[in-house]
């Protein structure tokens, strides 16, 4: 249930209203928007009569029942105003959201060794990324495949952060690793295969850290938002939704099917920021640039791009990783596309010219 | 099997080579590209030794086996050069293809009456469409739903063409209507539900008319290209592939899932031009504009947009139809997006300002 | 809208009721069941007030609106009583339906030549089939693949019928072949790829011949029943629904996914008889026997089994075809399974012992 | 890599062979079958020359490379012999596997209170179940839905086990609950949503307890077997695979699509025992009985059936739960079907007549 309060209402009256609401056994969340203040009630609201709420104060403009099963994630919960997830990094606060420039996250599938992660971090920073991604714990289909270097890789991510100032995004797979991951990650990633690992969602949510929630391989939009709701129900409003391709009947030429229309649809359902990962979605580096540009065209708030110094010898996901030079070339294009679609200006960093790097040892 | 002939080869030598090839029981197709001439052999090529072909002439640069099951539709069949489907309309020849500006097709789901189809045709022409779409025969899930006005609607399409000069695209559902449809249509549409109606493909192909081949609801990319191959095997090279959304596990918020990565994938497989239909793909008018812009961003050669003077009373597909004013607004945006992505300049027509139309009776 | 008339009502009163109903612009269909007579009204029934119908006669027990979009196919349309599709064959009338023994249809994918089709017909008849299936016109993904022998194959099917007395089931792909196919087929098959070829459904329906309607590769149950409704709306009540596997995300080990729960679901929705085709569903002969037995366990009214004298050289679908010996072995099992589940007694024919055939030249 | 050793080989020679193999850096697993002894090598086998292995002893009959990515789960790993998962319960050892009678697991979605779980346990035991299922921790789409009673419910399951002697199957969702769950469960269930929660698989596997591995909602067969391989790679051979329906494009009439052909397919790929859960697969109690019978017809080794004393007030999954009387009726049928298909004789318990229970308060 949402209570919309008029813009001119004094703070003391808002507090008085909240005080009155404490008689109901519900969780109360205040959200101060640009024009309105919205008070959300979550829990046993079905027995509450909206008319009784209305009578608490003449400053209450509207009392609305949220019709969707997701509440805190619902666009109604913020009365239509998009939310912003603000993340502190050594280089400053980076904000994800519709009213902010496009944010770029880049890096390898997994942290392989110190040299490669530092080098990749430097390249992606130089080309305009705000975050470094890199897996310490890797969900792999086979138990015999490389599972990530685990805690030692977390240490290398911390070093890359120290050297470059980039924020760090890395995946949490097991609730028992939560402290180690939270110590290094500026944003904790929940992978597609764990999107309905509800224990993980609750505990990751409880850290208070920003959470990147990847859509499950065949999760409906509603199930995805309900997974976000698990995190938000743990009092953590900082959720970023990441589309990374869904499973369809045709997997001959792409690994997954990138569902781009999810962006305009989500805008009608939720206030949460959106990221697109064209690398996992297509599974082949040759399609990443085109789909990254299309992602900006549909209005994504953020991009996640896989980059590896030498994709042909990558320990995982090589085929979908861009080389540093391909990445730099893409960032030049993305910069221009983001500006065209009104989401530019975040690329204040210098993007090196590809030729500058031609002599380097990347590939 | 593909025979690539050097650029400096005299026409007489090419003819001599073709003459020599007539000893094999194969179909021979010559395709003169910008730099090379390519001779395609289709049929029982498995028993032909490429070395024997090579020895026919020193002008033969390469003899290549097409590895895909689709041959004429294969990118190899034109040695990597995109094809162009050139369609005569009263206003001039319109070309679909990667080296041409974006082509826009617009109009209602079905031809309802003379006034509505003429009016819609005028609006979409004024805003930059080159083709009018409109159904005379409608494939409907229910036998009790409106099935289209049939032959009389074909007459109205002819009239709209006469009045506006727009080319006409309309669907063929039954081989017995082929003459009537071919008499009016500049491009014959094969609908998604008939994509593997092989009798229809063969006979539509045999008309020689350009064919718009919609992707089946759950057709793989390979099945789609094989359906194109049916048309091309009937000696009709003029096929345009239309992505209109595929069926996935989640249909709560969109009618289908628009598979945009199909565009970069098709570019690696086929030389045929591509159209995107965001109206059928999403099923809701509110998502059409965003997905149309994304379609241009991925490099589509053409867009199909549903427009109806008054969507709320449309006899079919009202929810996904744009009003004329929304369409005009979209065309202003698309013009700019197409220019940005290097596919502009076809919008030579005047796109009226929305305000001009505000007083009209459309909605 | 359904009008249920009491069991003791004289025929003259039923006729009088029908006469009264003629004032409404609807199609009227009378169906005399075991206990009740049901009059179905199809068409513009939304404006009819059920109370007015009720007042026509005290013999009217109930007036019910059919809630599903499919009307004639609906279980309500026969007030819960299963229908029976009775097909005349030279050996007598064979009935498909819940109150009848299991019917078996067997034969090759395509009619290859006279010897093979006659021989296969004799084998499957000897082992308990009532119908011979065999394709004259074959829907193939590739235009370069064998397309069936066409009209000459129809002649061979006629001959096989003459020699064995089996009924014939063969596929119709093009409305222009309708007379030729209807002249030979006792049941006309509409293939999965043509399930929503509405022109074909209407014209095939209009022949009055029993129609075997295969479920489309990704047709929902409702779309399938609506396709049946197209046939029934052409005044042809003789529709058999054939489940042949649906398309899913996993096609590594089976060609399609056999959706067996469709049988109990259909029993709650429709009165039409059901056939299961485990050959196309699984795509591999090694899985056919198990899934055929499961099909009987869920209560199918009929089975379609692909049999070829020598699957390894079959012109199509060899991998999913049983050898004659495997087929005979399966029929021994099916006979016993059908008896166990109360659907036996149709196997009055002699099923030869496998050893008898061991010396023959089949494989 | 598999080493097959002749049947007459003395144990000392087998030990000598294993000793010789210790020079390779692989894991060695011995499996003594009915006729042969098989030694499996897992790990870096790609560099091992099979000829060198062959020369170790003349008792070695065959050296085979396992072609599938799953090794221990592969049918080759046991040279074609099905494995048996033997579970100790207070009533004795119950064996799951192809050479054993059908095992029945029944109970409610969740443990609601002491009375209901004890009563349900008594009913299902009386009707022939060997195991009681019941959720203490429930994976629910919504964070606001009932999440299970947690540890207190584990205590009630322990009590139900004490009272009835039934084995207990309950789900583990979080690695931090592993000791509490393992203390009560005779078989630990990994739910569909956690099928690729690899941390959970490894740690659950490491308990050594039998694991029931539900197939993920859109897991391919290969991914499912790879998930089993994770458990087996933790030195736990006791895995039971449970098919519970997959996600398809049509969810109007069933919750999921029961993929029954998975049974004959799995028989060609793995030696592991199989369970079918028709309750979750169909989602509606009215379809459970038919699909349970079909499951026995395809040869499942086990059935999982949801039963609730009063489904209409169940805290979860009420619509798919059988009443005790419906369950008893089904068990009478299943007993007879299992006997028909050669999987009977486990129903040594008395199955009460439905009438006996008619006066009770269940529904």
Q: 3-state class of D80 per DSSP? A: coil
pLDDT band per the 50, 70, 90 thresholds, residue B32: confident
Distance CA C82, CA C56 (A): 27
The whole-number average pLDDT for the span A286-305 is 98
| Per-residue pLDDT at D357 | 39
Q: What is the DSSP string of D223-259?
A: HHHHHHHHHHHTT---EEEEE--B--S--SS-SSB-B
Distance CA A194, CA B178 (A): 53
Which of B258, B262, B294, B303 would best serve as a mutation to test chain A binding (most A beta carbons within 10 A)? B294
pLDDT band per the 50, 70, 90 thresholds, residue A243: very high
Residue pair B35/B16 in contact by the 8 Å Cβ criterion:
no
Which of A143, A225, A229, A232 would best serve as a mutation to test chain D binding (most D beta carbons within 10 A)? A143
Provide, as residue numbers in chain D, all residues whose Cβ is less than 8 Å from the Cβ of A199.
Answer: 137, 173-174, 176
pLDDT band per the 50, 70, 90 thresholds, residue B7: confident
Q: CB distance A197–D198 less than 8 Å?
A: no
The whole-number average pLDDT for the span C51-75 is 93
Contact of D57 with chain C, judged by CB distance below 8 Å, is answered with no
> CA of B248 to nearest chain D CA: how many angstroms apart?
6
Distance CA D340, CA D347 (A): 13
Distance CA A97, CA B137 (A): 46
pLDDT tens for chain D, 363 residues long, are 999 998 889 999 999 999 999 889 888 988 887 778 889 998 878 889 999 999 999 999 999 898 899 999 999 999 899 999 999 999 899 999 999 999 999 999 999 999 999 999 999 999 989 999 999 999 999 999 999 999 999 999 999 999 999 999 999 999 999 999 999 999 999 999 999 999 999 999 999 999 999 999 999 999 999 999 999 999 999 999 999 999 999 999 999 999 999 999 999 999 999 999 999 999 999 999 999 999 999 999 999 999 999 999 999 999 999 999 999 999 999 999 999 999 997 654 445 544 443 333 332
Between B358 and B2, the higher pLDDT residue: B2
CATH homologous superfamily of C86-357: Aldolase class I (3.20.20.70)
| Per-residue pLDDT at B100 | 95
Which of D67, D221, D225, D264 would best serve as a mutation to test chain C binding (most C beta carbons within 10 A)? D264
pLDDT band per the 50, 70, 90 thresholds, residue C359: very low
CA D116 vs. chain centroid, Å, equals 25
| Per-residue pLDDT at C363 | 29
pLDDT digits (tens, 9 = 90+) for C199-250: 999 999 999 999 999 999 999 999 999 999 999 999 999 999 999 999 999 9
The whole-number average pLDDT for the span B43-54 is 88
pLDDT digits (tens, 9 = 90+) for B260-319: 999 999 999 999 999 999 999 999 999 999 999 999 999 999 999 999 999 999 999 999
CATH homologous superfamily of D2-65: Phospho-2-dehydro-3-deoxyheptonate aldolase; domain 1 (3.30.70.1140)
Count interface pairs C-D at CB distance under 8 A.
104
pLDDT band per the 50, 70, 90 thresholds, residue A357: very low
Q: For residue D258, with 0-12 CB atoms within 10 Å meaning exposed, 13-18 middle and 19 or more buried, which class applies? A: buried
Provide, as residue numbers in chain C, all residues whose Cβ is less than 8 Å from the Cβ of A218.
Answer: 249
Q: Is the pLDDT of residue B134 over 50?
A: yes
Distance CA C270, CA C66 (A): 12
The lowest-confidence range among A235-249, B158-172, B334-348 is B334-348
Q: Is the pLDDT of residue C361 over 60?
A: no
Within chain C, all domains assigned CATH 3.20.20.70 are found at: 86-357
Q: Is the pLDDT of residue C50 over 80?
A: yes
Distance CA B87, CA B169 (A): 11
Contact of D69 with chain C, judged by CB distance below 8 Å, is answered with no
ipTM over 0.90: yes
Measure CB to CB from residue D282 to each of C221, C261, C294 and give the nearest one: C261
| Per-residue pLDDT at D347 | 55
Measure CB to CB from residue C247 to each of A247, A249, A251 and give the nearest one: A249
| Per-residue pLDDT at B346 | 62
Q: Is the pLDDT of residue C358 over 70?
A: no
Contact of C166 with chain B, judged by CB distance below 8 Å, is answered with no
> CA of C251 to nearest chain B CA: how many angstroms apart?
12
The residues, any chain, with a CB within 8 Å of residue D98's CB and separated by 6 or more, are D82, D267, D273, D299, D301
Between A227 and B22, the higher pLDDT residue: A227
Provide, as residue numbers in chain D, all residues whose Cβ is less than 8 Å from the Cβ of A181.
Answer: none
Q: 3-state class of C229 per DSSP? A: helix
Distance CA B142, CA B144 (A): 5
Which residue bears the tokens 């038919």? D290
| Per-residue pLDDT at D227 | 98
Q: Which of residues 178-217 of D touch C (CB under 8 A)?
A: none
| Per-residue pLDDT at A354 | 47
Nearest CA to A63 out of A72, A53, A71 is that of A53
The answer to whether the predicted template modeling score (pTM) of the entire model surpasses 0.90 is: yes
Q: What is the DSSP string of D141-208?
A: SSTTS----THHHHHHHHHHHHHH--EEEEE---GGGHHHHHHH-SEEEE-GGGTT-HHHHHHHHHT-
| Per-residue pLDDT at B359 | 32
pLDDT band per the 50, 70, 90 thresholds, residue B360: very low
Contact of B257 with chain D, judged by CB distance below 8 Å, is answered with no
Between D166 and B91, the higher pLDDT residue: D166
> CA of D218 to nearest chain B CA: how many angstroms apart?
10
Between B290 and B145, the higher pLDDT residue: B290
Q: CB distance C196–B230 less than 8 Å?
A: no
Nearest CA in chain B to D251: B249
pLDDT digits (tens, 9 = 90+) for A146-193: 999 999 999 999 999 999 999 999 999 999 999 999 999 999 999 999
pLDDT band per the 50, 70, 90 thresholds, residue B351: low
Query: Would you say domain D85-357 falls under CATH 3.10.620.30?
Result: no
Chains that touch B (3 or more CB pairs under 8 A): A, C, D
Nearest CA to A130 out of A97, A154, A103 is that of A103
Q: CB distance C173–B198 less than 8 Å?
A: yes
- CA dihedral C302→C308→C313→C318, nearest 10 degrees, is 10
Nearest CA to B267 out of B12, B114, B75 is that of B75
Q: Is the pLDDT of residue B154 over 80?
A: yes
| Percent residues over pLDDT 70 in chain A | 95
Within chain A, all domains assigned CATH 3.20.20.70 are found at: 85-357
Distance CA A241, CA A225 (A): 8
Distance CA C50, CA B164 (A): 50
Within chain C, all domains assigned CATH 3.30.70.1140 are found at: 2-65
């Amino acid at each position: 249930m949402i209570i919309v309060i008029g813009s001119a209402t004094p703070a003391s009256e808002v507090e008085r209203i909240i005080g009155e609401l404490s008689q109901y056994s519900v969780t109360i969340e205040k959200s101060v928007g640009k024009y309105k203040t919205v008070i959300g009630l979550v829990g046993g609201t079905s027995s509450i009569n909206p008319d009784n709420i209305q009578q608490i104060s003449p400053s209450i403009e509207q009392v609305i029942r949220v019709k969707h099963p997701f509440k805190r994630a619902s666009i109604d919960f913020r009365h239509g105003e998009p939310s912003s997830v603000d993340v502190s990094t050594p280089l400053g606060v980076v904000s994800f959201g519709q009213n902010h420039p496009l944010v770029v996250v880049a890096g390898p599938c997994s942290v392989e060794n110190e040299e490669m992660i530092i080098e990749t971090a430097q390249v992606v920073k130089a080309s305009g990324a705000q975050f470094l991604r890199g897996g310490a714990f890797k969900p792999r289909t086979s138990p015999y495949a490389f599972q990530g270097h685990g805690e030692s890789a977390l240490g290398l991510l911390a070093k890359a952060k120290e050297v470059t100032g980039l924020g760090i995004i890395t995946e949490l797979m097991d609730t028992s690793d939560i402290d180690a991951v939270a110590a290094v990650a500026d944003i904790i990633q929940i992978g597609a295969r764990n999107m309905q690992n509800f224990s993980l969602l609750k505990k990751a949510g409880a850290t208070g850290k920003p959470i990147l929630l990847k859509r499950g391989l065949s999760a409906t939009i509603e199930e995805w938002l309900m997974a976000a709701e698990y995190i938000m129900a743990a009092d953590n409003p900082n959720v970023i939704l990441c589309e990374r391709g869904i499973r369809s009947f045709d997997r001959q030429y792409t690994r997954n099917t990138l569902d781009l229309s999810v962006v305009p649809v989500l805008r009608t359902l939720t206030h949460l920021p959106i990221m697109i990962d064209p690398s996992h979605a297509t599974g082949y580096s040759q399609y990443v640039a085109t789909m990254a540009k299309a992602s900006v065209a549909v209005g994504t708030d953020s991009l996640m791009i896989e980059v590896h110094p030498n994709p042909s010898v990558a320990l995982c996901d090589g085929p979908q990783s861009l080389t540093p030079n391909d990445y730099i070339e893409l960032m030049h294009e993305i910069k221009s596309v983001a500006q065209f679609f009104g989401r530019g200006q975040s690329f204040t960093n210098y993007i090196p010219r590809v030729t500058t790097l031609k002599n380097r040892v990347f590939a």
